Amino acid sequence: MLTFFLKIRDTKPSLFGVLIALFGILVLTPDTLVIRLSELERWPLLFWRGILMGAVLMLGWRMFFSQNPSFEWRSLFSWQGLIVIIAFSMNSITFTLGIVETSATVVLTAVATMPVFAAALSFFMLGERQGWLGWLTILAAMVGIVFVVLNGEDASGGPKGSAFVGGFFGLLTALALAIVFTIARKYQDLSVFLAAAIGAFLSGLVGLYMSNFEDIVPNLVWPVLLMGLIILPISFACLSHAPHFTSSALVSLLMLLEMIIGPFWVWLGVGEKPSPKMICGSAFVALIIGAHILRTQWLSPQKSEKF
């Protein structure tokens, strides 16, 4: 099996990148369900997710990705490295707070706007121009998000917090991830893997500081270990490595699968059911972003670097 994938990597690198991204997304989709099954409150949950993910990412970086460890450590002290650390830590915090606050559909729909934020950041940081259709995509996606949030209180079986707060946290998560991947794209010498590990550790320390000691120990250990040691580090490793072989836009398109499959797992596992209006709003956002990426990356390849 390993020989087969190595052959694909050498002969069809774009397909290899798609397979890596697809595997990473499929590994990530049950993340929200596992969060629900852990029954942890927000701060203990943040502690375990951050500490465990940071430990595995650090080990993975040292074993498989580090080429010049001393240089890569020094790169973290640049302004680019510090921004990636802060952004990744913010992503971990805001996603955890959002998913504990409200319906998984609301949060994951908001997170699905990451390609839009990435494209906008690319305009400012990389000089990639965007036309009126690009701005129209941003506007339409945001309208879809607002529609899902406005109907977020209709979800059944999920947290009873504010859909507006949860949606806002989801948007912050999307923005943070977009910052991480845009900076990584522009500054190739920066060790994003190492920066992400540090950022995850920091988010875990925030969770520890905000937690009560008696709430740290989970009732069920296996969901915590599954998300911290397997789901989060493996999915991030795949998604951060895939753009080396295929376009980041295609990876972003595949990430829409989480918005579709993630709430389904939660619905199936714990009975958290989105309302029909929320499903329609999420489908609208997926359609808008997917159609935009297809238009810019496949139907108009000569404009693939434009939004």
Q: Per-residue pLDDT tens for 141-179?
A: 778 888 888 887 777 787 888 989 999 999 999 999 888
Q: What is the mean pLDDT of residues 228-252?
A: 81
- Predicted TM-score of the model (pTM): 0.85
pLDDT value at residue 300 = 55
Q: Name the region of 158 (left: φ>0; alpha: ψ -120 to 50; beta: rest).
A: beta
Hey, is 156 helix, strand or coil?
strand
Summarised one tens digit per residue, pLDDT across range 65-98 is 788 888 889 888 899 999 999 999 999 999 999 9
For residue 136, is pLDDT > 50? yes
pLDDT value at residue 44 = 96
- Going from the C-alpha of 244 to that of each of 21, 185, 186, 200, 238, the distances in angstroms are 11, 10, 13, 23, 10
Average pLDDT of the chain is: 84
Among the ranges 17-31, 85-99, 281-295, which has the highest mean pLDDT value?
85-99
The answer to whether the CB of 107 falls within 8 A of the CB of 170 is yes
Q: How confident is the model at residue 304 (pLDDT cuts 50, 70, 90)?
A: very low
Place of tokens 């997917």: 290
